[in-house]
Amino acid sequence: MSRRRIASVTRLALSRAALACAVVVAAACGASQQPQLKVLSVENSAVTHAGRAADMVLFVEVVNPAERPLELHRLQYRFEPSVHVAGVVPVHGEVLLSRTVDPGAAVVVEVPLPHDDSLPLDEELMLRGRLYATQDQLQRSFDVRARVAAQR
C-alpha cells in the first residue's frame, strides 16, 4: 500500500473517531436527567383550591435525579383515564410551586383532583403534564406523568 493511501485511511479513521467522540460528548452534555413523579397517596380534602372545594388531593413525590438543584415553579397537569374511554374529557389544572429540590432529593407536592362526574375514579388514571423549573439559571420544562390507582 502506498504512503499516500495509508495516510488517507488513517485520516479517515481519525475523522470517524473524532466524530464519534463529539457525538458522545454532545449527547452527555445535552442529556439531562428529568424529574420523576410518583403518586404516594390519594386522600379526601377539605381544602379549597382556586376558590372551589377539591374532592381529593394527590400527594405526589417529585424526585430530582440530577446532580444540580432544581427550583420548581409550577405544574400544569391533566387527569385522564389510562386507557382511552370515549366521551371522557380530561380534567386540567395548575399548581404554583416555590420549592427547591436538592440533587438526589425529593419533595412532596399536593395536586388537587376536583370532582368531575365524567372522570371514572374507579379506574386507573394518568396524571400527565408539564413541570416548569429553573436549573443552572436556565428556565426548563419537563414532560411528566404518573399513574393514579383506582379509587374504590
d(CA 20, CA 24): 6
pLDDT for position 122:
73
- Could you tell me the pTM of the whole model? 0.68
Residues of the chain with pLDDT under 70: 1-2, 4-32, 45-54, 85-87, 116-119, 121, 152
Q: Are 63 and 36 in contact (CB under 8 A)?
A: yes
- Looking at residue 61, its pLDDT comes to 92
For position 30, what pLDDT does the model report? 42
Count CA atoms closer than 13 A to 59's CA, side-chain side: 9
